[in-house]
């Protein structure tokens, strides 16, 4: 396994749990030290247990040297980062560097798997970088959600494997046989496209619901009931229909931008996808307007922000709508007091310039003119509203996650604004 990140670690522990011997290569020495000590450097439910299990069984080992990890392997998974380039494209420098560096060490007949999300055509470029006709490339995209990555990996719904020769894809599929997942074996371009199609579809679904939420506010409808009425149709489904402050995270924004970029360079006009991205941008701006209105302005006003991660049950703030919103509030002159269970006060954070990190929801609310709920941490629905009321300068709540009950909040004396609800 080359790369111990959000994809590499859950995949490694899943394979060791299934009985395979896995050696993980990670260049970041502090991350490596954590892993060797059996501690997960990322917050994922169930990861510490599977790490301990794999290490104790002698099936899970770690190195800082990708070439050493690759030398004895039948299958090498490339799980390195593919950051967003300047034009929106996914940058595959790390993938190509990894392929180039391990090439000479690989056993004849071994398989190199692209597990990172990579532009269509990358499998062919990795084959060229390897420069070997006795080593084979398989594209095996990952569909893990952060926070439930271990569960998603152990109980995958589908395994997609693309290769020039289906026998090589089959070898990769077999590794995950214990998941009981549906199997899709295809060519490399289709496997690579599937990942972008899935994430762009999910993003479009969310943008559609966020737009419907805005529509509901205009006509006096309740988007939560609209969701129920839609979702019982199995062709639509209940999942991914909750409106929010906008979608974020390390995948949806990056993958939609990359798919739009690939469409443009292939002279394919994709207004639907461009619209989904534009709608997300508008959703963030709409949340800031709601907060501004509820607080009676922004300049010099104190805003309590509950939640900074891009969703609950993760410590990841990459492309977090909450970060985007608190930065916009601060830029407009607001005094932002933020609380998140995964962000410790008293430290400097590059993404939280101009934002005060507090040690409790109560502290964040002190003296605030508006309380904005930005991430759906369950602890926020358990707070003593009367106590929060007593802390605030002006009792207004903007609930960007529809986490609280409007009736209960209003009974406690607050003004309440959700997303797409009366």
Known active-site residue 216: no
Cβ neighbours of residue 299 closer than 8 Å, sequence gap 6 or more: 332, 333, 334
Q: What would the x/- binding string for ligand UDX be over residues 53 to 92, using CB under 6 A? A: ----------------------------------------
| Gyration radius of the chain's alpha carbons | 23
What does the alpha-carbon distance between residue 397 and residue 410 come to, in Å, rounded to a whole number?
A: 9
Catalytic residue among 79, 251, 370, 400: 251
Task: Provide the minimum distance between the beta carbon of 251 and ligand UDX in the complex, in angstroms, as a whole number.
Answer: 3
Stretch that binds ligand UDX, among 144-152, 229-237, 358-366, 388-396 (CB under 6 A): 144-152
Task: Kindly tell me which residue out of 18, 94, 143, 389 binds ligand UDX, with binding defined by CB under 6 A.
Answer: 143
- H/E/C letters for each residue in 76-125? EEECCCCCECCCCCECCHHHHHHHHHHHHHCCCCCEEEECCCCCCCHHHH
20 forms part of the interface with ligand UDX (CB under 6 A): no
146 forms part of the interface with ligand UDX (CB under 6 A): yes
Provide the token pair at 304: 């309590």
Name the residue nearer to ligand UDX (CB basis): 193 or 242.
242
What does the alpha-carbon distance between residue 205 and residue 256 come to, in Å, rounded to a whole number?
A: 12
Q: Which residues pair with 355 in a beta bridge?
A: 336
Task: Provide the minimum distance between the beta carbon of 201 and ligand UDX in the complex, in angstroms, as a whole number.
Answer: 10
Q: Interface residues for ligand UDX in 313-332 (CB under 6 A)?
A: 321
Q: What would the x/- binding string for ligand UDX be over residues 93 to 112, using CB under 6 A? A: --------------------
Name the residue nearer to ligand UDX (CB basis): 23 or 277.
277
Task: Provide the minimum distance between the beta carbon of 322 and ligand UDX in the complex, in angstroms, as a whole number.
Answer: 9
Residues 184/193, Cβ–Cβ less than 8 Å: no
What does the alpha-carbon distance between residue 273 and residue 200 come to, in Å, rounded to a whole number?
A: 7
Q: What would the x/- binding string for ligand UDX be over residues 235 to 254, using CB under 6 A? A: -----xxx-x--xxxxxx--
Name the residue nearer to ligand UDX (CB basis): 23 or 253.
253
What does the alpha-carbon distance between residue 43 and residue 34 come to, in Å, rounded to a whole number?
A: 12
Backbone φ and ψ of 24, nearest 5°: -105, 130
Residues 152/313, Cβ–Cβ less than 8 Å: no
Task: Provide the minimum distance between the beta carbon of 212 and ligand UDX in the complex, in angstroms, as a whole number.
Answer: 12
Give me the residues that bind ligand UDX (CB under 6 A), please. Answer: 142-146, 199, 202, 206, 240-242, 244, 247-252, 310-311, 321
Catalytic residue annotation: 251
């Amino acid at each position: 396994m080359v790369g111990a990140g959000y994809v590499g670690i859950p995949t490694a522990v899943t394979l060791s749990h299934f009985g395979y011997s896995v050696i993980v290569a990670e260049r970041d020495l502090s991350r490596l030290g954590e892993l060797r000590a059996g501690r997960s450097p990322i917050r994922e439910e169930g990861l510490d247990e599977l790490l301990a299990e794999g290490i104790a069984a002698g099936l899970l080992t770690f190195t800082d040297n990708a070439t050493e990890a690759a030398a004895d392997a039948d299958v090498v998974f490339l799980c390195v980062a593919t950051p967003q380039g300047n034009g929106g494209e996914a940058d595959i420098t790390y993938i190509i560097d990894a392929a180039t560096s391990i090439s000479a060490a690989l056993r004849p007949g071994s398989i190199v798997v692209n597990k990172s999300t990579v532009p269509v055509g990358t499998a062919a470029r990795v084959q060229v970088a390897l420069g070997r006709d006795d080593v084979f490339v398989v594209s095996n995209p990952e569909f893990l959600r952060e926070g439930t990555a271990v569960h998603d990996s152990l109980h995958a719904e589908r395994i997609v494997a693309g290769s020039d020769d289906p026998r090589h894809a089959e070898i990769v599929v077999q590794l995950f046989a214990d998941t009981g997942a549906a199997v899709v074996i295809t060519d490399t371009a289709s496997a690579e496209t599937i990942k972008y199609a899935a994430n762009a579809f999910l993003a479009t679904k969310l943008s559609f619901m966020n737009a419907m939420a805005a529509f509901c506010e205009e006509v006096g409808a309740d988007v939560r009931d609209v969701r129920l009425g839609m979702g019982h149709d199995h062709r639509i489904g209940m999942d991914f229909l909750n409106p929010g402050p906008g979608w974020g995270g390390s995948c949806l924004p990056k993958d939609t931008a990359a798919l739009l970029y690939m469409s443009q360079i292939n002279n394919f006009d994709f207004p639907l996808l461009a619209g989904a991205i534009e709608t997300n941008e508008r959703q963030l701006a709409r949340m800031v307007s709601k907060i501004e209105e509820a607080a009676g302005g922004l300049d010099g006003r104190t805003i309590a922000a509950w939640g900074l991660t891009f969703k609950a049950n993760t410590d990841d703030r990459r492309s977090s709508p909450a970060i985007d919103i608190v930065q916009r509030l601060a830029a407009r002159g607001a005094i932002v007091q933020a609380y998140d269970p995964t962000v410790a006060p008293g430290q400097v954070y590059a993404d939280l310039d101009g934002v005060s990190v507090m040690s409790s929801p109560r502290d964040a609310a002190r003296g605030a003119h508006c309380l904005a709920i930005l991430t759906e941490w369950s602890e926020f629905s358990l707070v003593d509203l009367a106590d929060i009321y007593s802390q605030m300068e002006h009792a207004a709540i903007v609930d960007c996650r529809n986490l609280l009950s409007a009736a209960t909040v209003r009974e406690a004396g607050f003004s309440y604004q959700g997303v797409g609800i009366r």
